[in-house]
Structure 1
Amino acid sequence: MMLLQVSGLLLAGFVAGGLNAVAGGGSLITYPTLIAVGVPPLHANATNGIAVAPAYAAAAFGSREHLRPQKRRVLSLIPTALLASVGGTILLLSTPHEVFEAVVPFLVLAATLLMAIGPWVNRKVTALNGGRALHPVALHLGVGLGCLYGAYFNAALGLVLIAVIAMSLTERLVRIGALKNFCTFIVGAVTSVVYGVFADVAWWAIGVLVPATFLGGYLGARLFQKLPERPLRIAVIAYGLILSVILMLR
């Protein structure tokens, strides 16, 4: 049975890493797989948060070229992202198991819908911005809400942050993506420390997922990007919708 569990997590991590490199939504693969191999939902969520943290760090490191010109903005966002991430972890640790199990189907559904409307939202908010940056408070509010959500339930975090950052700034997408990567790195760092110390996590599963997601992400960046993004996104959305219905009926 252990061999079957490890094999399932290796495959899930590999696929999730590839999806994150192309279309996002990898946690919609790894989180339910953790549940399927026997990790309780609340623990699976904390485990998944730690497992994806190294990939977030790698993405932030890879974006450093586009972060340097925004140094002042980056530094100003650190307290916001840190406080919001800590708040999200406290919220999760304070949530009873039965309550979390009850809201998980709706969180999965919300993450799936974000996958579906993410590109449309980005286009709309960019158009509505009309080339003008919003007040800096809007950026901090959006990043704070995004990091709070991400520390509580990781799925679709990148899409949430891309949307709220694009709504507030008039930067090129590559700079917005770099800010997103930096914020997800902070979320990953905070969740790793807090959940690693205070939550019951499946360390064996983390040990399997981390190298698998890294390999999937590397090959995704090199090979999977040759595939059209739209069919991949549609497949993940369909999977998320089916999964949310199954979880609601459990």
Structure 2
Amino acid sequence: MNLLQVSLLLAAGLLGGGLNAVAGGGSLITYPTLMAVGVPPLYANATNGIAVAPAYAAAAFGSRENLRPQKRRMLQLIPTALVASVCGALLLLNTPHSVFEAIVPFLVLAATVLMAIGPWVNRKVTALNGGRDLHPAALHAGVFAGCLYGSYFNAALGLILMAVIAMGVSEKLARVGALKNFCTMLVGVVTCVMYGVWAEVDWLAIGVLVPATFLGGYLGARVFQKIPERPLRIAIVVYGLVLSAILLVRSF
């Protein structure tokens, strides 16, 4: 890996970490950058999954005050999140390279659409639960689906989990976010172990991205917070649409 490639990864990590601190969607920056520096799509996905995992753990640790009041719910979700994450990782490990390259444009497009409609979905699902918790099975089903997706393709994982958790429980946004952070941490643990052992990943790229995303998250919390979220989200959506179109053209 040359100096230009390392510089691109550093910039992607800083920007991706900053975006995650405000609007989410950081993987829409880091994942294509990994491909741009020469990591094949399937390996780039596994590499990205490991690279973002430490930031998930940090977010969960930072949310511990809002996790304590829902300790029982949190513990009950552990088996669901772990089993779903293992299933998603196994699915990725058994996906042929040609198949993954064919579906990547659609996965990026799906993540981009989620970025666009995420706030609207969160408002709607929060209103739909009518101020009461749904049956626990509904929450577990939503978390299972979200963690399955997240361990297979990480982009927009936080948005998915925020929506399904907000639909299943009647809690203030901070507690919903804390539970989301806890579940993403579990996804990160599973992907680190399974992809680190069985997938071919670029450890040098991981070594560059991990500190960059951490620093980006810290700076984003301080600097990006001063920028209105809406323009940032629009910019990410436009970027994601262009990227998915480019990937789709390249797949033919």
Match of 1:166 in 2: 166
Helix, strand or coil: the match of 2:149? helix
Match of 1:17 in 2: 17
- Identity percentage over the alignment? 80
1:207-240 Cα offsets, whole Å, 9 max, x none, are: 0000000000001111210110000000000000
1:93-133 Cα offsets, whole Å, 9 max, x none, are: 01000000000000000000000000000111111111121
- The answer to whether residue 117 in structure 2 is matched with residue 117 in structure 1 is yes
Helix, strand or coil: the match of 1:52? helix
- Structure-1 separation of matches of 2:170 and 2:235: 31
Residue 174 of structure 1 and its aligned partner are, at CA, apart by: 0.1
Range moving further from structure 2, 147-156 or 216-225 = 216-225
- Structure-1 separation of matches of 2:224 and 2:128: 32
Residue 51 of structure 1 and its aligned partner are, at CA, apart by: 0.1
Match of 2:49 in 1: 49
Match of 2:87 in 1: 87
Match of 2:237 in 1: 237
Task: Give matches, 1:21-170, under 5 Å.
Answer: 21-170=21-170
- Structure-2 separation of matches of 1:86 and 1:37: 28
- Structure-2 separation of matches of 1:124 and 1:224: 26
Q: Partner letter of residue 51 of structure 2?
A: A
Helix, strand or coil: the match of 2:84? helix
Q: Partner letter of residue 140 of structure 2?
A: H
- Structure-2 separation of matches of 1:125 and 1:42: 33
- Structure-2 separation of matches of 1:197 and 1:75: 26
- Structure-1 separation of matches of 2:41 and 2:222: 33
Q: Partner letter of residue 165 of structure 1?
A: I
TM-score under structure 2 normalisation? Answer: 0.98
- Structure-2 separation of matches of 1:188 and 1:208: 18
Range moving further from structure 2, 120-129 or 203-212 = 120-129
Q: Partner letter of residue 54 of structure 2?
A: P
Structure 1 residue ranges, 4+ long, deviating more than 4 angstroms after superposition: none
Match of 1:249 in 2: 249
Match of 1:215 in 2: 215
Range moving further from structure 2, 73-82 or 218-227 = 218-227
Match of 2:177 in 1: 177
- Structure-1 separation of matches of 2:231 and 2:115: 12
Gaps of 5+ in 1: none
Gaps of 5+ in 2: none
Aligned residues: 250
Residue 92 of structure 1 and its aligned partner are, at CA, apart by: 0.1
- Structure-2 separation of matches of 1:114 and 1:226: 23
- Structure-1 separation of matches of 2:167 and 2:128: 8
1:191-220 Cα offsets, whole Å, 9 max, x none, are: 000000000000000000000000000011
Helix, strand or coil: the match of 1:132? coil
- Structure-1 separation of matches of 2:122 and 2:207: 35
